[in-house]
């Protein structure tokens, strides 16, 4: 962050009474930093490259969804009712659907935008100079987090709304309010999900002095969850699988165990949450007993019930995000900041 | 002695005459009456038009020789027909051994179209004559007849009235009748013969056929007496009669919720009470209405009261139904079918129950997030602003 500019925007402090000035300047200083960070991000090559990758992926997924819609691949029963949502969930098989791309590339975005948040400033020596300015120390970290989250929110919303726009052109009729709210909730969930990875990478950037180390740590965690975690789960599943002739309760318990293990992966949480939000016909995420299905009408859930169904997922993601932020906050505040460290 | 000699001489003379073919010399009539005789016990009978009268006639030979007689029948009435049979065959001539008799049957058919009165006939066999009298007590009609044994029946609007009718063909030919009923609109009349539904029947002359007539009243029939003329007709002949169906009343039952809403919300594992209204929509009293429910697995519906003893026409009765859902039920819609049954009628109410999952975990989630936020706030307080 350019120090000169930051300081030049802080003239107010000198002419204000002390108590008043403290709060006023802190908020204004914070927002100045946020604005600066934001503009830095937007102009960086990193962001351009990321956006290009994500845009290309989105175009691919939309194309695949549209071809699937046109060929009538959608489930016959529900296609007429929630056609608009199928743009996000449908795929003709050649490319993953939109959710799939967000699940896979969202972490990359979060990690790429956050891995050098603190340690780059530190290694460039700008951190100590910034902190020596009359600003609160935590405002620095908060500004880093808020500005990057804003970038993420803006890009995810623009991509999501773009997809909706394309859907409007292709399908030809507007979404119902419920569909709109569902898409909006999906986008907010995506922001929380990417925010989680952002916080993880900020945590690494606070913890590790070298930007490359924190980048590697973040990427390895991402690859672990998106590739290796599934393999490990498969191994566990094979080991824990009950005998073929075991009773329903044993099989049920096994299924529930595997699902619980699966849900440790943030991408799985995100996936389940969005499947439920974007497919109103999903009524349950776990294994179903026959007694539960008897008499059930195949009707879509109301929005409130869908949210209640994935509320644990949302809670988990939000809590994990906040805990990561709290950890990095704690670590950062307890760190020593020297002029050249 | 002289007298005896004279008698013997006469006998010898007679024998000689007979021997030489005396019939050519003397008129035979003077002798024949005593030679053969026709006999039947019932010489004067009553008969109805269309009936057959059978006679067992014996031809008795009183002479010493075998007598061969030609049979004849003097019939003044052209419509009456007769038949003479013996030993299973039609006979024209009969030979009888001396001193014995030979029986033959005479069948006399009373025509269908006949005036009442007494009719004379004579059966002849050679010289023997047998006068016969047949009294026809009623006038023959030469028509078809449709009769119903019990033409009045009573029942409620849902019952099927089954009448038994007999169609008699009293004409000389085989008739094919078209069966029609001219009932009020909405009434369904069906003719059955031999177990299958028919619209026309063929009846042999002078026989009858039993028809069963099913009468189904319309749904919205009012109480009252209804006349249903039925007719069996073709272009030659027709027969008609009138059936009478007495409707005592209609059975009708209605089941709905008190506010006519057929959907309800319920928490998974929770209960919800519904106010139901059972209405007697018919015009007859309903007895013993029982309330039942068809539910998803592990759901329970209890009714208060469980049964309604009796419900007068037009009256309503409220029933409290308490629905208890299963703990395991999924959020979303379930179908629930409630029904009120009486012996005569059943009414159903299909209710869509939307299960809402418990919001407990929602609050717990909010609590978790609040706790984490509080922790971060604590961090802010502890480390920030310095």
Per-residue pLDDT tens over the stretch A44-81: 999 999 889 888 988 888 888 888 877 765 554 445 56
Closest-CA residue of A relative to B335 is A295
Distances (CA, A) of A180 to A74, A174, A308, B141, B237: 19, 9, 18, 89, 79
Q: Which of B332, B366, B376 sits opposite A322 (nearest CB)?
A: B376
Contact between B356 and A309 using a beta-carbon 8 Å cutoff: no
Structure tokens at B180: 């029609």
Domains: count for chain A:
1
Contact between A309 and B357 using a beta-carbon 8 Å cutoff: yes
Contacts of B369 in chain A (CB under 8 A): 315, 318-319, 322
Contacts of B328 in chain A (CB under 8 A): 289, 291-292
- A217 contacts A204 by C-beta, under 8 angstroms: yes
Closest-CA residue of B relative to A332 is B383
Q: Which of A283, A292, A323 sits opposite B372 (nearest CB)?
A: A323
pLDDT in tens, A269-290: 898 888 888 888 887 777 777 7
Closest-CA residue of A relative to B376 is A326
Q: Tokens 């999900």 correspond to what residue?
A: A193
| Element containing residue B321 per DSSP (H, E) | strand B316-324
**Neighbour-count burial of B381, counting CB atoms closer than 10 A to its CB (0-12 exposed, 13-18 middle, 19+ buried):** exposed
- A186 contacts A229 by C-beta, under 8 angstroms: no
- CA B17 to chain CA centroid, Å, is 73
Closest-CA residue of A relative to B358 is A308
The whole-number pLDDT of residue B140 equals 64
pLDDT tier at A193, thresholds 50, 70, 90: very high
Which of A124, A188, A112, A148 minimizes the C-alpha distance to A325? Answer: A148
In the predicted model, is pLDDT for residue A310 greater than 70? yes
Domain-embedded: residue A259? yes
- B332 contacts A288 by C-beta, under 8 angstroms: no
Which of B18, B102, B115 minimizes the C-alpha distance to B60? Answer: B102
Q: What is the pLDDT along chain B (386 residues), one digit of tens a residue?
A: 455 556 665 655 555 445 544 444 444 444 444 678 888 998 888 887 777 888 888 888 888 888 888 888 888 777 788 888 888 888 888 888 888 888 889 888 887 777 888 888 888 888 888 888 888 877 766 678 888 888 898 888 888 889 999 988 877 778 889 999 888 888 999 999 888 889 989 988 878 889 999 999 887 788 888 999 998 888 878 888 999 999 888 888 989 898 888 888 888 888 999 899 999 888 888 888 999 998 888 888 999 888 989 888 888 889 999 999 888 888 888 888 999 998 888 899 898 888 888 788 888 989 999 999 999 888 888 887 65
Q: Tokens 């047998």 correspond to what residue?
A: B130
Average pLDDT over residues A189-201: 94
A307: left (phi over 0), alpha (psi -120 to 50) or beta: alpha
Cβ-count burial A283-314 (b if 16+ within 10 Å, e if not):
bbbeeebeebbbbbeebbbbbebbbbbbbbbb
Contact between B365 and A315 using a beta-carbon 8 Å cutoff: yes
B51 three-class SS: coil
Structure tokens at B320: 């409290």
- B127 contacts B221 by C-beta, under 8 angstroms: no
Give the total residue count for chain B.
Answer: 386
Q: Which of A283, A289, A308 sits opposite B328 (nearest CB)?
A: A289
The whole-number pLDDT of residue B285 equals 85
Closest-CA residue of B relative to A285 is B330
Distance CA B121, CA B135 (A): 11
Closest-CA distance of chain B to residue A155, Å:
26
The half-sphere exposure of A125 on its side-chain side, counting CA atoms within 13 A, is 2
DSSP assignments along B250-289, one per residue: ---EEEEETT---EEEEETT-EEEEEEEEEE-SSS-EEEE
Domain boundaries, chain B: 30-136, 144-247, 253-356
Q: Tokens 């029609």 correspond to what residue?
A: B180
Distance CA A55, CA A105 (A): 11
With vertex at residue A306, the alpha carbon angle to CA A305 and CA A311, rounded to the nearest 5 degrees, is: 95
Q: In what side-by-side order are the strands of the sheet with B128-136?
A: B44-47, B128-136, B117-125, B67-75, B93-96
B73 three-class SS: strand
- CA B298 to chain CA centroid, Å, is 50
Q: Which of A146, A289, A311 is the best mutation test for B, with the most CBs of B within 10 A?
A: A311
Q: In what side-by-side order are the strands of the sheet with B208-216?
A: B144-148, B161-169, B208-216, B188-193, B196-198
- CA B205 to chain CA centroid, Å, is 21
- CA B272 to chain CA centroid, Å, is 53
Q: Which of B333, B369, B370 is the best mutation test for A, with the most CBs of A within 10 A?
A: B333
Distance CA B241, CA B226 (A): 14
* Binding-site residues on chain B for chain A (CB distance < 8 A): 295-299, 326, 328-336, 352, 354, 356-357, 359, 361-362, 365-366, 368-369, 372-373, 375-376, 379-380, 383-386
pLDDT tier at A318, thresholds 50, 70, 90: very high
Contact between B369 and A318 using a beta-carbon 8 Å cutoff: yes
| Element containing residue B318 per DSSP (H, E) | strand B316-324
The whole-number pLDDT of residue A21 equals 47
Cβ-count burial A190-208 (b if 16+ within 10 Å, e if not):
bbbbbbbbbbbbbbbbbbb
Contact between B380 and A138 using a beta-carbon 8 Å cutoff: yes
- Please identify among residues 233-292 of chain A the ones whose CB lies closer than 8 Å to any CB of chain B: 283-284, 288-292
pLDDT tier at A15, thresholds 50, 70, 90: very low
Contacts of A196 in chain B (CB under 8 A): none
Distances (CA, A) of A89 to A95, A311, B150, B334: 12, 20, 74, 26
Where are the alpha helices (H) located in chain B, listed in sequence order?
A: 2-19, 29-35, 360-383
The whole-number pLDDT of residue B67 equals 85
pLDDT tier at A200, thresholds 50, 70, 90: very high
The whole-number pLDDT of residue A181 equals 92
pLDDT tier at A157, thresholds 50, 70, 90: very high
Distance CA A184, CA A281 (A): 18
What lies within 8 Å, CB to CB, of B78 at 6+ separation is none
Beta strands B238-247 and B152-155: pairing type? parallel
Structure tokens at B108: 């006399």
Closest-CA residue of B relative to A136 is B385
Average pLDDT over residues A283-301: 78
Contacts of A305 in chain B (CB under 8 A): 331-332, 356-357
Where are the alpha helices (H) located in chain A, listed in sequence order?
A: 3-8, 18-43, 45-70, 76-79, 86-89, 98-114, 119-124, 126-131, 137-171, 177-207, 211-223, 229-240, 248-262, 266-278, 290-293, 303-334
Q: Which of A322, A325, A333 sits opposite B383 (nearest CB)?
A: A333
Contact between A297 and B335 using a beta-carbon 8 Å cutoff: yes
Contacts of A292 in chain B (CB under 8 A): 297, 326, 328-330
Q: Tokens 């950062």 correspond to what residue?
A: A332
Distance CA A195, CA B336 (A): 44
| Element containing residue B72 per DSSP (H, E) | strand B67-75
- Please identify among residues 137-196 of chain A the ones whose CB lies closer than 8 Å to any CB of chain B: 137-138
Beta strands B89-90 and B81-86: pairing type? antiparallel
Closest-CA distance of chain A to residue B292, Å:
16
Closest-CA residue of B relative to A302 is B332
Distances (CA, A) of B29 to A116, B26, B195, B328: 157, 9, 63, 117
The whole-number pLDDT of residue A49 equals 92
Distance CA B115, CA B132 (A): 18
Contacts of B331 in chain A (CB under 8 A): 283-284, 301, 305, 308-309
Closest-CA residue of B relative to A335 is B383
Closest-CA distance of chain A to residue B384, Å:
6
Instruction: For the beta carbon of residue A238, count every other beta carbon within 10 angstroms.
Output: 8
Contacts of B366 in chain A (CB under 8 A): 315
Beta strands B346-356 and B263-267: pairing type? parallel
Contact between B330 and A296 using a beta-carbon 8 Å cutoff: yes
* Domain that includes residue A119, residue range: 30-288+299-334
Closest-CA distance of chain A to residue B196, Å:
42
Distance CA B250, CA B247 (A): 8
- CA A163 to chain CA centroid, Å, is 18
Task: Please check whether the domain covering B253-356 is classified as CATH 1.10.3470.10.
Answer: no
Contacts of A299 in chain B (CB under 8 A): 332-333
Contact between B332 and A299 using a beta-carbon 8 Å cutoff: yes
- B229 contacts B178 by C-beta, under 8 angstroms: no
Which CATH superfamily is B30-136 part of? Immunoglobulins (2.60.40.10)
Answer whether 0.80 is exceeded by the pTM. Answer: no
Closest-CA distance of chain B to residue A4, Å:
23
Q: Which of A25, A292, A307 is the best mutation test for B, with the most CBs of B within 10 A?
A: A292
ipTM over 0.85 threshold: no
Structure tokens at B13: 């003379």
The end-to-end CA distance of chain A, in Å, is 18
Contact between B383 and A296 using a beta-carbon 8 Å cutoff: no
Distances (CA, A) of B6 to A117, B10, B16, B22, B26: 177, 6, 15, 20, 20
Q: Tokens 């020297």 correspond to what residue?
A: A338
CATH code that applies to domain B144-247:
2.60.40.10
Least confident of A4-8, A132-136, B335-339: A4-8
B242 three-class SS: strand
């Amino acid at each position: 962050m350019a120090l000169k500019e930051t300081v030049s925007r802080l003239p107010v402090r000198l002419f204000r009474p002390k108590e008043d000035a403290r709060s006023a300047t802190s908020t204004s200083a914070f927002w100045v930093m946020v604005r600066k960070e934001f503009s830095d991000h937007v102009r960086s090559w990193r962001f351009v490259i990321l956006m290009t990758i994500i845009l290309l992926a989105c175009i691919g997924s939309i194309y695949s969804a549209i071809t699937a819609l046109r060929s009538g691949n959608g489930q016959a029963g529900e296609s007429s009712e929630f056609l608009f949502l199928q743009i996000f969930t449908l795929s003709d098989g050649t490319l993953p659907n939109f959710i799939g791309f967000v699940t896979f590339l969202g972490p990359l975005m979060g990690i790429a935008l956050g891995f050098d948040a603190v340690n780059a400033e530190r290694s460039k020596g700008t951190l100590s100079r910034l902190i020596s300015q009359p600003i609160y120390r935590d405002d620095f970290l908060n500004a880093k987090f808020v500005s990057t989250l804003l970038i993420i929110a803006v890009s995810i919303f623009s991509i999501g709304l773009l997809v909706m726009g394309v859907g409007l052109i292709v399908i030809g009729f507007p979404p119902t309010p419920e569909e709109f709210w569902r898409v909006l909730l999906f986008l907010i969930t995506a922001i929380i999900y990417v925010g989680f990875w952002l916080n993880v990478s900020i945590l690494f950037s606070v913890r590790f002095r070298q930007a490359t180390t924190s980048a590697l740590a973040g990427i390895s965690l991402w690859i672990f969850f998106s590739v290796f975690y599934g393999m490990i789960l498969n191994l566990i599943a094979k080991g824990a699988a009950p005998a073929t002739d075991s009773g329903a309760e044993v099989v049920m318990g096994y299924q529930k165990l595997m699902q619980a293990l699966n849900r440790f992966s943030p991408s799985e949480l995100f996936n389940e949450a969005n499947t439920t939000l974007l497919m109103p016909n999903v009524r349950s995420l776990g294994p179903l007993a026959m007694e539960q299905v008897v008499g059930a009408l195949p009707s879509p859930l109301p929005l409130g019930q869908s949210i209640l169904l994935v509320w644990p997922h949302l809670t988990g993601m939000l809590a994990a995000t906040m805990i990561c932020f709290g950890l990095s906050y704690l670590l950062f505040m307890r760190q020593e900041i020297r002029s050249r460290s | 002695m002289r007298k005896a000699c004279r008698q013997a001489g006469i006998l010898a003379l007679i024998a000689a005459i007979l021997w030489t073919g005396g019939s050519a010399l003397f008129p035979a009539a003077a002798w024949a009456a005593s030679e053969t005789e026709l006999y039947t016990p019932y010489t004067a009978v009553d008969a109805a038009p269309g009936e057959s009268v059978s006679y067992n006639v014996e031809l008795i030979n009183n002479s010493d020789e075998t007598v061969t007689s030609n049979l004849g029948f003097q019939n003044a009435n052209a419509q009456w027909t007769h038949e003479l049979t013996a030993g299973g065959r039609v006979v024209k001539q009969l030979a009888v051994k001396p001193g014995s008799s030979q029986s033959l049957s005479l069948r006399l058919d009373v025509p269908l179209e006949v005036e009442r009165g007494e009719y004379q006939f004579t059966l002849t066999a050679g010289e023997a004559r047998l006068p016969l009298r047949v009294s026809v007590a009623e006038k023959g009609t030469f028509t078809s007849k449709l009769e119903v044994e019990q033409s009045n029946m009573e029942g409620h609007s849902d019952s099927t009235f089954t009448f038994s009718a007999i169609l008699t063909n009293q004409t000389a030919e085989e008739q094919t009748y078209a069966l029609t009923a001219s009932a009020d609109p909405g009434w369904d009349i069906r003719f059955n013969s031999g177990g299958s539904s028919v619209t026309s029947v063929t009846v042999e002359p002078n026989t009858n056929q039993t028809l069963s007539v099913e009468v189904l009243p319309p749904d919205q029939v009012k109480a009252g007496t209804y006349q249903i003329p039925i007719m069996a007709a073709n272009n030659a002949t027709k027969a008609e009669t009138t059936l009478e169906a007495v409707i005592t009343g209609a059975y009708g039952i209605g089941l709905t919720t008190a506010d006519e809403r057929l959907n309800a919300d319920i928490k998974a594992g929770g209960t919800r009470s519904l106010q139901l209204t059972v209405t007697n929509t018919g015009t007859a009293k309903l007895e013993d209405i029982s309330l039942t429910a068809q539910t998803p697995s592990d759901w329970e519906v209890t009714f208060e009261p469980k049964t309604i003893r009796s419900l007068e026409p037009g009256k309503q009765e409220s029933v409290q139904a308490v629905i208890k859902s299963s703990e395991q039920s999924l959020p979303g819609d379930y179908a629930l079918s409630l029904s009120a049954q009486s012996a005569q009628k059943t009414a159903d109410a299909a209710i869509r129950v939307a299960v809402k999952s418990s919001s407990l975990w929602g609050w717990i989630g909010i609590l978790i997030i609040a706790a984490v936020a509080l922790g971060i706030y604590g961090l802010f307080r502890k480390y920030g602003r310095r």
